[in-house]
Amino acid sequence: MTSENIFVRYLPLALLAVLWEIAPRVHIVDPSELPPLSAVAVAWWSLLLDGDLWTNGVSSFINWSFGLGSSIIVGIALGVMMAWSTTIDDIASPLVKALYPMPKSALIPVMILWLGLGAGSKIASIAMSCLLPVIISAYNGARGVDQTLIWSARACGASNRNVLWEVILPGALPEIMAGIRNAVAISFIVLVASELLVGQKGLGYLISFLGEGGVYDAMFAVVITVSALGFFADRAYLYFMRRTLVWRE
Amino acid sequence: MERVRKGFLSPTWKRRLLRSSSVILLAVAWEWGARMHFVSDFLLPSLSSVLVRLWDDVISGDIPIALGLTLARTFAGFSMAAILGIIIGVTIARLRLVRWFFDPIVSVGNPLPKIAFLPIFILWFGVFDWSKIAMVAFSSVFPVVVATWAATENVDKYLVWSAQSLGVDRRALLWQIVLPSAMPEVFTGLQIALPISLIVVIICEMTMGGEGLGGSMMTSMRFADSPGVFSGIVAIAIIGSVLVKAMEIVRRRLLVWHAESAH
């Protein structure tokens, strides 16, 4: 894409940004309800210099990576096991199917009840919410692996272990990666929601703290930061996914 | 019934028993674990006490009222998202200027964690129903737009061409060719958006209060009323599955004429 194309393509966003700057300045909208973009940028810079953004961001990042990471590992293992053995499938899949449509946010109060107001309940909420999409994608992916591939691998003398690592997992990878992308989106929702609800740390907490204190330009700055992190996490993952799956084309 | 039985149960019954075993086992373990006081009653009230509590709350009217509020907010926001999303999606696919304007907004807005905007919506719309409904609409409009856009763009070209060669005008082309053939994909978008709506409503009720299933769960949690928390989660889980099932039934009804319903 040429630079001119990029300019034309993203012009609407620039127009919105200009509108955001001008509308509160000429009092079309109340500046206390929508601080001008420049004020938000200034507030963001001072939050960055204070270190507030950094310390809370690190705390959020730890919760997020532990929660999402554990759900990915456990989810892939469970999903592949369910696809591998019909007995495990028969035992586990009714439970998975029954819990899958549950609105994930409902788990947060239970996790707070069990694990308290600290990081533990947030990590557990994220992990539990992301677990089911990963299990289902790994299960569907592993079941969808071409049976003839498995037979030919066995005919070549592959052990169970080889079949698992060299046939089933690579075959299931596209679905698993798509499932993880869903899980990334869910993890951000649950992370922010659980931090908005309780706690003394994290970007979600910072948003609600600044909002309750009436420091709206700083609150907008943190909201934009969290949105940008969510957006770039998705884009980076998408890029990684395309790179990893390049052998399929 | 002349079949020769090998063993105590026939294979199909064995399978059925196995398939329900995890649910039964979990229920038994929950009840037994709570009764044996492996963990305190506060952390895990017994299943029977949770079910009794659920039943009491249904009879007393607490849960029906909370459910009504939650569902009203869900559907208000969801219908706004559905209507707006379909209109935007169709116009994006058909009008160049609209596409130019919305393309970057949709591609940036779709992956955003929209829940972070909650305090801004509280600032703009207050802590009552409107902010919750607006939040739901904002969170679930993007999947509908994306699905509608893709669906209207991917309508079978031959279908459009043959309609045009029969002299159909633009309006009829939209209503009788494009929209019906885009229906299955659009509906898939709605099926993604409805669970998101429910998740967001519950988060909004938890953070802002205002009753509803999420609000009453949070109240129970603050009063350390753990049977209330657990009966809340059971109620929410049931509603979630009922809504997902209901959407599947509506889909089958609505798309009865479509090839996907044939098999």
When scoring B24, B95, B118 by the number of chain A Cβ atoms within 10 A, the one with the most, hence best to mutate, is B118
Name every chain B residue with its beta carbon within 8 A of the beta carbon of A227.
112-113, 116-117
Name every chain A residue with its beta carbon within 8 A of the beta carbon of B19.
90-91, 93-94
Q: Where are the domains of chain A?
A: 36-248
Flag if A103 and B195 touch (Cβ within 8 Å).
yes
Calculate how close chain A gets to B16, using CA atoms only, in Å: 8
pLDDT in tens, B134-169: 999 999 999 999 999 999 988 888 888 888 888 888
pLDDT in tens, B173-200: 888 888 888 888 999 999 999 999 999 9
In A, minimum Cα distance to B27 occurs at: A95
> What is the fold, at CATH topology level, of the domain defined by A36-248?
MetI-like fold (1.10.3720)
pLDDT in tens, B66-85: 999 999 999 999 999 999 99
Interval A179-190 mean pLDDT: 92
Flag if B207 and A192 touch (Cβ within 8 Å).
no
Interval A222-229 mean pLDDT: 93
Half-sphere exposure of A200 (CA within 13 A, CB side): 3
| Structure tokens, A130 | 């992301």
From residue B251, alpha-carbon distances to B90, B189, B191, B198, B243 in Å are 20, 12, 9, 19, 12
pLDDT of the residue at B1: 44
- Which residues neighbour A233 within 8 Å (Cβ) at sequence distance 6 or greater? A184, A188
In the CATH scheme, what is the code of domain B49-261? 1.10.3720.10
Cα–Cα dist A178/B95, whole Å: 31
End-to-end CA distance of chain A: 22
Task: Please give the DSSP secondary-structure letter assigned to residue B41.
Answer: T
Interface confidence, given as ipTM, is 0.86
pLDDT of the residue at A249: 57
Over its C-alpha atoms, chain A yields an Rg (Å, rounded) of: 23
Question: Do the beta carbons of residue A73 and residue A134 sit within 8 Å?
Answer: no
pLDDT in tens, B8-44: 667 777 777 777 777 888 888 888 888 887 777 788 8
Its sign, for the CA torsion A205, A209, A211, A217, is: negative
In B, minimum Cα distance to A30 occurs at: B124
pLDDT of the residue at A240: 92
Flag if B43 and A223 touch (Cβ within 8 Å).
no
Name every chain B residue with its beta carbon within 8 A of the beta carbon of A113.
42-43, 221, 226, 229
From residue B247, alpha-carbon distances to B130, B240, B253 in Å are 25, 11, 10
pLDDT in tens, A148-166: 888 888 888 888 888 888 8
Mean predicted lDDT score pLDDT of chain A: 89
pLDDT in tens, A63-75: 999 999 999 999 9
